[in-house]
Amino acid sequence: MLRLTTIVILSIYLSIVSACQMLVPPELLNGCTFSPLTITNPTNGYTVNRFNCNEVINKDVFTEQPYVYFSNAEEEKSYTLLMVDPDSPLHNAGQFYLHWAVTNVPGYILKQGLGCTVGDLIFEYTGPSPAAFSGPHRFMIFAYVQMSNYLTAPLPAYRSRFVLMDWLDSFGGEDTLRGPVASVGYITEF
C-alpha cells in the first residue's frame, strides 16, 4: 500500500512539474527557432545571426543596445522587440528577466537595421549581466508583428520574473501581436 501511495504522489508531482514547464512554449526557449534576426554591436561590429546563433560569447560583447536587422520584415507593418533571459536564478518556470522591450518599430526601419532611437521604449536596454556561479544564460531577441501600426503596450511591473505569456495576453494576445516571427540568441555567463 505504501508503495502504491508513493507511486501516486510521484505521478502527481511529475504532472505538476510538467505543467509548470509548459507555461512557456518550448520554441520560446531557443533564440534560433524563428525566421532569422541579425544583431550587431554598433561600436565593435560583432554580429550574431543564424550562422552563429546560440553560440557562447563574452558577456561584454553586447553591453550596449545592438542594431537589429530583420531582412524579411514587411515594410508597411510595425513590430515589437523583446530581449529576454530565461535562465536567471530564482525564477520559476515561465518567468524571464526582461532586458529590453520596444514597440511600434516600423518594418522598413527593421529591414534596414534598428538603431537606438526608433520605436516606443517600454523598457530601456540593459546588457547581459549573469550572476556569478549561475551557469550559462541564454539571451534571446524576439520580433513580433503588430496587428496595427501603433500599439499601446502595458508596462510590465518588473524586469525580473517577467511572465511573457501573461504580458502578451494582457493587451489582446494574438489579436494584437503575432509571433514571434523572427528571433536570434546567444549564450553567455559570468
Quick one: pLDDT at residue 28?
86
pLDDT tens digits along 69-105: 999 999 999 999 999 999 999 888 889 999 999 999 9
Residue 19 lies in a domain: no
Residue 157 lies in a domain: yes
pLDDT tens digits along 98-110: 999 999 999 999 9
Average pLDDT of the chain, as a whole number: 87
The secondary structure element, H or E, covering residue 1 is none
- Is the predicted pLDDT of residue 22 greater than 50, yes or no? no
CATH number of residue 52's parent domain: 3.90.280.10
What is the bridge-based pairing of β-strands 67-69 and 35-36? unpaired
Residue 5 lies in a domain: no
Q: How confident is the model at residue 26 (pLDDT cuts 50, 70, 90)?
A: confident
Quick one: pLDDT at residue 23?
59
Q: What percent of the chain has pLDDT over 90?
A: 73
How many structural domains does the chain have?
1
- Is the predicted pLDDT of residue 153 greater than 80, yes or no? yes
Write the secondary structure of 69-133 as one string of H (helix), E (strand) and C (coil).
ECCCCCCCCEEEEEEEECCCCCCCCCCEEEEEEEEEEEHHHHHHCECCCCCEEEECCCCCCCCCC
Of 11-20, 123-132, 176-185, the poorest mean pLDDT is in 11-20
Residue 15 lies in a domain: no
**Pick from 48, 27, 50, 68: which is nearest to 179 by CA?**
27
Quick one: pLDDT at residue 76?
97
Is it true that the peptide bond before 130 is cis, omega within 30 degrees of 0?
Answer: no
Residue 154 lies in a domain: yes
Query: Between 40 and 23, whose confidence is greater?
Result: 40
* Domain containing residue 165: 24-188
Residue 18 lies in a domain: no
Residue 148 lies in a domain: yes
**Pick from 23, 157, 140: which is nearest to 84 by CA?**
140
Q: Is the full-model pTM beyond 0.75? A: yes
Residue 6 lies in a domain: no
